[in-house]
Structure 1
């Protein structure tokens, strides 16, 4: 599995976790929801950096 495939799988897993937390907490400002969102953002940024490098 390539690095890009691994990150895409991680992104999908994190999205599912975030959606579950939102449904469970019903509050977008819950600390667990915010933390999950920040982790997803970080991985998405990593994905974008890899995508930029592969375009060169």
Structure 2
């Protein structure tokens, strides 16, 4: 997956999370699921792009 595809998926999941929280509350099962999915995407971005960038700068 390209960097832009990953960023697009992160933004889409973030929007879904905001929508479901507005409808069902922060502690709803769907909100928790979407939050976990967003965490996985952000962790993937961090490990693939942020850590690589900081290691190149050092």
Structure 1 runs (4+) deviating above 3 angstroms are none
Partner SS, residue 39 of structure 2: helix
What is residue 14 of structure 1 aligned with on the other side? 13
How many residue pairs end up in the alignment?
A: 53
Structure 1 gaps, min length 5:
none
TM-score normalised by structure 1 residue count = 0.86
For the pair shown, the structure with the greater C-alpha radius of gyration is 2
Structure 2 gaps, min length 5:
none
